[in-house]
Structure 1
Amino acid sequence: MSSTPDRDLHHAAARAALDVPGVAGLQPDLADRLAAAATRAKQAVGAAPLPAEAGIRTEHAPDGGWNVEVRCAVHEDHRVLDVAQQVRECVRTAATAYQQGAPAPVTVLVTVTRTV
């Protein structure tokens, strides 16, 4: 995700997911965790930690739309299914609104990694 539009969509999806009641936070996947482990020395000298949106993956779909994956933790006093459905809808809405011109289809996959 080196281009600015991809990064902007990435940030918009993260903000939308984090704004859903019941979401405790986004969870980085294994690749993000390995990257963080490899940069611990840099962090010790002041480098930035993993960004809050590390639990979001965005990619262009073959049909010209977007595929968005969200990995999140949910507060245990919320129903996981309800939170996951709301995250999916909020992220889809944010990603669709983010697009300029005729909006392309957005597919959102939500994975709840744990409850806290």
Structure 2
Amino acid sequence: MTTAEREAIHRTAARAALGVPGVVALQPALAERLALAASRVFELMGSGAARAPVGAGVRCEIAPDGIWHLEVRCILDEDHRVIDVARRVRSDVSSAVNSYLVQHGAAPPLTARVLVSVTRTIRPAAWGTN
């Protein structure tokens, strides 16, 4: 598994999750937040080469048996039922990643197991003020 392939899985999962109605954003993990903060400092120092981590809010690993394990951390619109949105995120991310694997000739088993963590619910209008 190359870094480019792992990043493609991250992006595929992130796009699928963000496409679900009720998902406001993906919540980066602490390590991703620290990396983003460091990259901003690096940018300010004049390099401009830093960028946000690919797939922030998504963690993925491939097990020795070939099964992908993904965790998607979501911030949801409080006007949507959490259970419904979480189920849809799990379904859409799993379908998107499995489709990606098939399209790119991944070896069987072509399975993605998805865990959805809802980190908080907010009013979307409040998102810019938090």
TMscore range, shorter length: 0.7 to 0.9
Equivalent residue number for residue 107 of structure 1 = 113
Deviates more, 1:69-78 or 1:41-50: 41-50
Matching of residues 1-116 of structure 1 within 5 Å: 3-44=3-44, 45=46, 46=48, 48-51=50-53, 53-100=55-102, 101=105, 102=108, 104-116=110-122
Deviates more, 1:44-53 or 1:60-69: 44-53
Computing the radius of gyration from Cα coordinates, the structure with the larger value is: 2
Counting matched residue pairs gives 116
> Partner amino acid for 1:106?
A
Over residues 39-61 of structure 1, what are the superposed CA-to-partner deviations in whole Å (9 max), with x where a residue is unaligned? 33223344555257200111102
Equivalent residue number for residue 125 of structure 2 = none
Aligned pair in 2 of structure 1 residues 97, 76: CA closer, same or farther (>3 Å)?
Answer: same
Aligned pair in 2 of structure 1 residues 80, 54: CA closer, same or farther (>3 Å)?
Answer: same
CA distance in 2, matches of 1:24, 1:111: 13
CA distance in 1, matches of 2:54, 2:18: 9
Identity, % of aligned pairs? 53
SS of equivalent residue, structure 1 residue 74: strand
| RMSD, aligned α-carbons | 1.9
State the TM-score, normalized to the length of structure 2. 0.79
CA distance in 2, matches of 1:107, 1:37: 30
CA distance in 1, matches of 2:80, 2:96: 22
CA distance in 2, matches of 1:2, 1:75: 35
Q: Structure 2: which 5+ residue stretches go unaligned?
A: 123-130
Q: Shift of residue 37 of structure 1?
A: 2.3
> Partner amino acid for 1:75?
D
